[in-house]
Chains A and B, each alone.
Chain A
Amino acid sequence: MSPTAVLKNIDFPDLNQVPLVDEVGVHERAARFQARSIKKSSKIEALRSVLSMIDLTTLEGQDTPGKVRQLCQKALHLHNALPDLPNVAAVCVYPTMVGVAREVLGDSPIKVASVATAFPSGMTPRQVKLEETRIAVAEGADEIDMVISRGAFLQGDHHFVFDEIAEIKTACGKAHLKVILETGELGTLDQVRRASMLAMHAGADFIKTSTGKIKPAATLPVTLVMLHAIRDYYYQVDRMVGMKPAGGISNSKLAIHYLIMLQETLGTSWMTSEWFRFGASSLANDVLMQLQKQASGVYQSADYFSRD
């Protein structure tokens, strides 16, 4: 019996049945979302949604407990001048920093997310990836952001990728699993769509575009293709899967375009942090500046917003 067969609701998908993608058509559709104009109360509502969906992220080789503590403090105190702000969704760190983050965030509703599985390349044996995942969860991670084995995927060894995701999912236990496709390395949108289907069928709770270490990272077109896959999967299997674009989304306007795309593709049920996240480090401050501008009517300077 294969290791995945014991998992519930898991079925290797027929990737030949995954619809093809026309790149130009996807770009045209994505451009239509960008032609939307969001003003006034709908803008404030959107900005607050964006804020609530952010995974505040630090994923650097130079990260220290001190840096992670500061980021967590920022998460807890986004901008004291603005009352009643929503929380960001999570703080996202490396496994060695999970304990620190857990300690600072304590019982707050802000989740601790950890990358795992030899992020960002994923080039390490599976046992190591599984062990890394278990450690991160044991340290207090609520969410695990794994990377798929792009080499194996591009080589056509879809079963390898599928099994790996399924095993990591098991190793996650109660923690939510986000599966990073690293779309910038997959080459075509057809591959993105297939990888999305593969990840969801293998048990992903979220699918995520990028590590942030490879360009291009998240784009509207690539995210649209993944949203289409989530929709197809939902119709076929009746399970909602979340979406996380990550990397390169640094301003509010672009983030709002993502929300428009989300709402017009998957509908209103997905419009919460339970089903949509932004992986970003500088987005939060831009959103805060916009919210402050909406509240005060005055354009803002970055000097007045804490940077951690």
Chain B
Amino acid sequence: MTMVGPHSRVPVAKTYKIYIDGKFPRTESGRYFPLKDVDDQVVANLCRSSRKDFRNAVVSARKAFPNWSSASAYLRGQILYRIAEMLEGRRDQFISELVLQGLSKRRARKEVEASIDRLIYFAGWSDKYQQVFSAVNPVNSSHFNFSVLEPTGVVSILAPTGSGLLGLISNIAPVIVGGNTSVILASESMPLCSVSFAEVLHASDVPAGVVNILTGFREELTEQFATHMDVNAIIFSDDDGGVAKTIESLAANNIKRVIPRNAIDWSSEKNQNPYLIRDTQETKTTWHPIGN
């Protein structure tokens, strides 16, 4: 920490906590890990979340699922747009956090702006992806038959490691715009924005439990993310070799959907598309007779 001269104000440092069920607890384990900047200075102490934190987060996500999945597309779109608005208002904070974590000011600004735009992008899909991916199926009998998408359920996300805000948002937005609820493990090396983003979510009418954000160690939590029987899908990013095998193998526990997202350049607009939403959607086909 830098020394403060006699005439300057003593800054108030931020406590970075985790986000579970719409609240900001510290990890129940009481553990922490220090985040250091490029000069090896401690920037902040972050919660080293435990299995129990994850378990609590899943409970919250499951509880939030019925209402969030049946909320109207319009409302979900409004809420995602609201998140973008809130983020826009706090641009500077996010830029400085990214700079603290090693980005240049220019790159940091670009990432924050792209993050805001990405939220707007997915907010706009909320009432459209259904129309693109649904179908009325012309069956060969006197039945009306249609297929629609429905959210997979509770999705656990191991966020991209190298893109602390944009990568995080690019993975959360398509999951929740589609009506899923989520538990995220933030980037271990760039976790600051995830906690601040939770504060944005908190101020954006996102119902408690829809997004839960943990900070901590991948190595410690991956197994939990992959095995939990009440998690329906797992998204993982930036496989550093071997983790895919572990995750896919453990996910078989309850036939989890496994969505690997490796080496995706989230800053490219080419990599934003509604197929990211479809990744955590199921197809439901309904039949009904046509008659008097």
Contact = CB atoms under 8 A, between A and B. Distances in A.
Q: Do chains A and B touch in the complex (CB under 8 A)?
A: yes
Interface of A: 22-25, 27, 187-190
Which residue of B143, B290, B291 has the most chain A CB atoms within 10 A of its CB atom? B291
A22 B290 CA distance: 9
A203 to B, nearest CB: 29
A20 to B, nearest CB: 11
Given A24-B142, A24-B143, A188 B292 contact: yes
A27 B291 CA distance: 10
A25 B142 CA distance: 10
Contacts of B289: 22-25
Interface in B269-292: 289-292
A223 B289 CA distance: 20
Contacts, number: 17
A224 to B, nearest CB: 14
Contacts of A189: 292
A80 B143 CA distance: 51
Contacts of B292: 23, 187-190
A188 B291 CA distance: 10
Interface residues of B, number: 6
Interface in B133-155: 142-143
Nearest to A191: B292
15 contacts: A22-B289, A22-B291, A23-B291, A23-B292, A24-B142, A24-B143, A24-B289, A24-B290, A25-B289, A27-B142, A27-B291, A187-B292, A188-B292, A189-B292, A190-B292
Interface in B241-292: 289-292
Given A24-B142, A24-B290, A188-B292, 6 more contacts: A23-B289, A23-B291, A23-B292, A24-B289, A27-B142, A27-B291
Contacts of A27: 142, 291
Interface string B170-211: 000000000000000000000000000000000000000000
B53 to A, nearest CB: 51
Nearest to A189: B292
A23 B290 CA distance: 8
Contacts of A23: 289, 291-292
A27 to B, nearest CB: 8
A190 B292 CA distance: 9
Contacts of B143: 24
B223 to A, nearest CB: 50
Interface in B60-103: none
A225 to B, nearest CB: 12
A292 to B, nearest CB: 39
B77 to A, nearest CB: 37
A284 B289 CA distance: 37
A24 B143 CA distance: 8
A189 B289 CA distance: 15
A4 to B, nearest CB: 31
A25 B292 CA distance: 11
Nearest to B141: A24
A85 to B, nearest CB: 41
A120 to B, nearest CB: 23
Contacts of A188: 292
